[in-house]
A and B are shown apart, each in its own frame.
Chain A
Amino acid sequence: MSNTKTMNVMQERDVRTRTIGQKIFKVLGKTGTYIFLLVMALIILFPFYWMIISSLKTLAEYRQAVPTFWPRQIMWGNYAEAFTKANLGDLFMNTLYVGLVSTVLSLVITVLSAFAFARLEFKGKETLFGALLATMMIPGELFTITNYITVNNLGWMHTFTALIVPFLVSVFYIYLLRQNFMQIPNELYLAAKVDGTSDIKYLWKVMIPLALPTLISITILKMMGAWNSYIWPKLVANDAAHQMITNGLRNAFTDTTGQANYPVQMAAVAIVSAPLFLVFLCLRKYIMQGVSRSGIKG
């Protein structure tokens, strides 16, 4: 009797020391985890901090050999200058237009192709898909001249078409969405077929809602593409009516000697990045889901 009691007490004490030990260990582990994450976060954030303080400096201070960590004189004027000088309103509208139209068209094409690859059986499917993936391995810079000549022959110079059409198909997006579609059980499709539902209706009612996160991340990536594109628009549509935001920024802030006024340019970059940040913050959940659902089953 007493024996069992002592056993119990011992066990209890044992359990308690173990739990205390575990707790200390756990707290230490958690602290370590947080320190690690915070340090990494700081490293990640530093360049952004730099972008913002640079945008608030005078050109002279920016060009200094010894960089300052806080602007001596805060130049809010850089932001005002960026806004008025670059005609940001028009640039925004052009970029938004190109971004939206190419996103919508690109989504339609991607959904149809991904559906064909994921659900339909046809001769040469694997071969075709393999060939598509192989094109991803070629440096895209090589295509520029040939595509420029093509666009020119098609009479698309200085039109939005030239900015939109050549980049509508992305093998990467088709790949992403195909992975996503493949995870939706085939039974749903077969059941729908039995019910006599058409492919399009099935796509619209079942597949698209299920793949929504991926579609949203494609949208974001596509919009980001429009926001960041520089070399191609400069070649095919660098006139005032079609100018894209990055090109407009580059042109607006070069001074007489062709050197850029970097602080104002940084301010403009900050202004331009803001909408993307906001969209990302609002849709973060979907983007995370979208990207994470892809990649599985290579």
Chain B
Amino acid sequence: MFKKIIAIVLTVVMALGMFALTGCGSKSANNAFVVPSEGFNPNETVDITFTHTMGAKLQEVLNTYIEEFNKIYPNINITHQSAGGWSDINGQINTEIAGGTQPNVAYCYPDHVAMYNIAKSVVTLDNLIASDIKIGDSEEIIGLTDAQKEDFIESYYNEGLVYGDDQMYTMPLNKSTEVLYYNKTFFDENNLTVPTTWDELWDVCEKIKAIDPDCYPLGYDAEDNWFITLCEQMETDFTSAENGGQYLFNNDENKAFVKELREMYQKGYFTTQELYGSYTSNLFVEQTDTNCYMCVGSSGGASYQMSNNDTADGSFAFEVGVASIPQYNQENRKVISQGPSLCILKGANTTDQQVLASWLFVKFLCTNIDFQAEFSMASGYMPVIKSVTENENYAAWLAKGNGKEYLVAKCVQVGIDGRDDYFVSPAFNGSSKAREQAGALLLKCLSTETTDVDKLIDDAFQEALDECEY
């Protein structure tokens, strides 16, 4: 019987060789959207879909504001669904693009957009933003007014431009960043100052190590972010989106800082999530045998950084402080920006009206003060427009007293204060690989036992580069 299987397999392979020769037809597509001169017709019914990763709580907020949106545009019907987590949404939309069933609007990270863009499925927004065509009989224009543009936090707004061709691909929805959580009680007791530069940080680590020799002074949750942030702060090369994407991280400056980090790691100054084997926030809040007094983590995870509320009198075991992450050079402050942006997708069957309706919806979510405020409060992310503080509830929330909510608000405040420092790394087909490899190579260089550190580092960098370029 198995001989027959082979025979069949061979025949099929041969037949297919012939078939494959026919190849596939070429389809020309251009994603620069041109706003039709007649503009958007608000009286025509348009259905649009929106895919995101929101949990139940955020979907409630979204539903409320879809109702608000429909008060202005009653004929735009929006259906939305959650695709699960961040890794799920990327895979799902990839497949949907292949089948021509992509949503009109989607949550996205830059790496995802770069992938969708290979299929030329992402609508570039420049013409939409610039359009001053009025909508129906109203005074409102399709594009953004100057006041609206001004209102955006600039670094967030510019995240739409990291694709190497100076075109605008995404709008920021709500953002998160990395912040430094520290054990304020411990810092106060020992007269320690919160570090603002890496040098200060290592000094503090040394002092903490002297006080508590068994501790890890610092826990850093995301190794890949650390690598990328340091490149950005020190102005060394990481990647470039130009010419379809380049991997530039294999250079001596980067090797030097990796080597320094290795020395600090070997001194026991820090650990990371992967090296420790669990979220370092646990180490930070748990206060067991091994302690951790500083922790760099996502501002969106603030509720996990709160010290345990289980002392006998119900008070907290220690007070948590939040600060901006240390810098290399105060003249060139850089902090990584994360969290959802929105992109507009189109396929062969997408109508201009649908693109316009999608744009109006995106514009609404990104510029509506009340939505931005409520979404921020529900998610712990940072709003992307400056005028959000005009919302009284929000201002009150930011200044609120003790409790878990307080830490979330404090993080958001730190995030808002650091609004001039944000960056995202360039996005292109393969940029996610660079991020993965940066994290992996850092981990390898920190902990592998060796007698020849330089060789280890050289090899790790080369291997990471090979893997990226494969």
Chains A and B directly touch (beta carbon < 8 Å)? yes
Say yes or no for A189: interface residue by CB 8 A criterion.
no
Say yes or no for A157: interface residue by CB 8 A criterion.
yes
**Which of A63, A157, A239, A253 has most B Cβ within 10 Å?**
A63
Say yes or no for A273: interface residue by CB 8 A criterion.
no
Q: Is the beta-carbon distance between A256 and B98 smaller than 8 angstroms?
A: no
Chain B residues near A257 (CB-CB < 8 A): 176, 298, 300-301, 379-380
Please give the distance in Å from A231's CB to the nearest CB on chain B.
9
For the residues of B in contact with A, the DSSP-based class is: helix
Q: A65-B278, A134-B5 are in contact. Are A252 and B98 (CB under 8 A)?
A: no
Please give the distance in Å from B291's CB to the nearest CB on chain A.
12
Q: Report the Cα distance A260→B87, complex, angstroms.
A: 13
From A49-57, A125-133, A171-179, give the one contacting chain B. A125-133
Say yes or no for B48: interface residue by CB 8 A criterion.
no
Interface set, chain A 33-73, CB cutoff 8 A to B: 60, 63-66
Please give the distance in Å from A17's CB to the nearest CB on chain B.
56
Chain B residues near A292 (CB-CB < 8 A): none
Q: Report the Cα distance A234→B283, complex, angstroms.
A: 36
**Residue in chain B with minimal CB distance to A67:** B278
What sequence of 0s and 1s flags, for each residue 271-284 of chain B, a beta carbon within 8 Å of any chain A beta carbon?
Answer: 00000111100110
B55 CB contact (under 8 Å) in A64, A149, A152, A258:
A258
Please give the distance in Å from B312's CB to the nearest CB on chain A.
15
Q: Is the beta-carbon distance between A145 and B98 smaller than 8 angstroms?
A: yes
Say yes or no for A85: interface residue by CB 8 A criterion.
yes
Q: Is the beta-carbon distance between B54 and A256 smaller than 8 angstroms?
A: yes
Chain B residues near A256 (CB-CB < 8 A): 54-55, 57-58, 300, 378-380
Q: Is the beta-carbon distance between A64 and B282 smaller than 8 angstroms?
A: yes
**Residue in chain A with minimal CB distance to B280:** A65
Say yes or no for B368: interface residue by CB 8 A criterion.
no
From B78-86, B207-215, B245-253, B358-366, give the one contacting chain A. B78-86
Chain B residues near A238 (CB-CB < 8 A): 81, 83
Q: A127-B4, A258-B85 are in contact. Are A152 and B100 (CB under 8 A)?
A: yes
A152 CB contact (under 8 Å) in B57, B99, B176, B300:
B99
**Residue in chain B with minimal CB distance to A86:** B56
Q: Is the beta-carbon distance between B84 and A250 smaller than 8 angstroms?
A: yes
A126 CB contact (under 8 Å) in B1, B82, B298:
B1
Say yes or no for B41: interface residue by CB 8 A criterion.
no
Chain B residues near A255 (CB-CB < 8 A): 55, 57
**Residue in chain B with minimal CB distance to A85:** B56
**Residue in chain A with minimal CB distance to B8:** A131
Please give the distance in Å from B12's CB to the nearest CB on chain A.
9
Say yes or no for B77: interface residue by CB 8 A criterion.
no
What sequence of 0s and 1s flags, for each residue 194-231 of chain A, a beta carbon within 8 Å of any chain B beta carbon?
Answer: 00000000000000000000000000000000000000
Please give the distance in Å from A273's CB to the nearest CB on chain B.
20
What sequence of 0s and 1s flags, for each residue 251-265 of chain A, a beta carbon within 8 Å of any chain B beta carbon?
Answer: 111111111100000
Say yes or no for A75: interface residue by CB 8 A criterion.
no
Q: Report the Cα distance A258→B107, complex, angstroms.
A: 12
Q: Is the beta-carbon distance between A235 and B5 smaller than 8 angstroms?
A: no
**Residue in chain A with minimal CB distance to B302:** A257
The size of the chain B interface, using a CB distance under 8 A, is 44
Say yes or no for B53: interface residue by CB 8 A criterion.
yes
For the residues of A in contact with B, the DSSP-based class is: helix
Q: Report the Cα distance A253→B279, complex, angstroms.
A: 20
Please give the distance in Å from B345's CB to the nearest CB on chain A.
15
Q: Is the beta-carbon distance between A130 and B54 smaller than 8 angstroms?
A: no
**Which of A63, A65, A148, A253 has most B Cβ within 10 Å?**
A65
Q: Report the Cα distance A238→B92, complex, angstroms.
A: 11
Q: A152-B101, A256-B54 are in contact. Are A63 and B282 (CB under 8 A)?
A: yes
Chain A residues near B279 (CB-CB < 8 A): 63, 65
Q: Report the Cα distance A234→B91, complex, angstroms.
A: 11
Q: A148-B95, A235-B92 are in contact. Are A254 and B85 (CB under 8 A)?
A: yes
**Residue in chain B with minimal CB distance to A253:** B55
**Residue in chain A with minimal CB distance to B279:** A63
Please give the distance in Å from A168's CB to the nearest CB on chain B.
21
Q: Is the beta-carbon distance between B55 and A145 smaller than 8 angstroms?
A: no
Please give the distance in Å from A64's CB to the nearest CB on chain B.
6
**Residue in chain B with minimal CB distance to A131:** B8
Q: A66-B288, A256-B55 are in contact. Are A148 and B83 (CB under 8 A)?
A: no
Please give the distance in Å from B215's CB to the nearest CB on chain A.
14
B88 CB contact (under 8 Å) in A66, A144, A152, A234:
A234
Q: Is the beta-carbon distance between B55 and A65 smaller than 8 angstroms?
A: no
Chain A residues near B101 (CB-CB < 8 A): 152, 157
Q: Is the beta-carbon distance between B99 and A149 smaller than 8 angstroms?
A: yes
Interface set, chain A 120-144, CB cutoff 8 A to B: 126-127, 129-131, 133-134, 144
Say yes or no for B256: interface residue by CB 8 A criterion.
no
Chain A residues near B277 (CB-CB < 8 A): 65
Chain B residues near A131 (CB-CB < 8 A): 4-5, 8
Q: A145-B98, A148-B98, A152-B101 are in contact. Are A234 and B2 (CB under 8 A)?
A: no
Q: Is the beta-carbon distance between B99 and A239 smaller than 8 angstroms?
A: no
Q: Report the Cα distance A251→B58, complex, angstroms.
A: 12
Say yes or no for B308: interface residue by CB 8 A criterion.
yes
What sequence of 0s and 1s flags, for each residue 66-96 of chain B, a beta carbon within 8 Å of any chain A beta carbon?
Answer: 0000000000000001111110100010011
Q: Report the Cα distance A257→B297, complex, angstroms.
A: 13
Q: Report the Cα distance A63→B301, complex, angstroms.
A: 13
Chain B residues near A235 (CB-CB < 8 A): 92, 95-96
Say yes or no for B304: interface residue by CB 8 A criterion.
yes
Q: Is the beta-carbon distance between A254 and B82 smaller than 8 angstroms?
A: yes
Chain B residues near A152 (CB-CB < 8 A): 99-101
Q: Report the Cα distance A262→B98, complex, angstroms.
A: 33
Q: Is the beta-carbon distance between A239 and B81 smaller than 8 angstroms?
A: yes
Q: Report the Cα distance A259→B54, complex, angstroms.
A: 10
Q: Is the beta-carbon distance between B84 and A234 smaller than 8 angstroms?
A: yes
Q: Report the Cα distance A250→B83, complex, angstroms.
A: 9
B53 CB contact (under 8 Å) in A127, A239, A253, A254:
A254
Interfacial residues, chain B to chain A (CB-CB below 8 A): 1-2, 4-5, 7-9, 53-58, 81-86, 88, 92, 95-96, 98-101, 176, 276-279, 282-283, 286, 288, 298, 300-301, 304, 308, 378-380
Other than A151-B99, A152-B100, give 16 A-B pairs with Cβ distance below 8 A.
Answer: A65-B277, A130-B2, A130-B5, A134-B5, A144-B95, A148-B98, A152-B99, A157-B101, A252-B56, A254-B82, A256-B300, A256-B378, A257-B298, A257-B379, A258-B55, A258-B85
A-B residue pairs in contact (CB < 8 Å), sample of 20 = A60-B308, A65-B277, A65-B288, A85-B56, A126-B4, A127-B4, A127-B7, A130-B1, A130-B2, A131-B4, A131-B8, A134-B9, A148-B99, A157-B101, A234-B83, A254-B85, A255-B57, A256-B54, A256-B300, A258-B53
Of all A-B residue pairs in the complex, the 8 with the closest CB atoms, nearest first, are: A152-B99, A65-B282, A65-B278, A256-B379, A130-B4, A130-B5, A134-B5, A257-B300
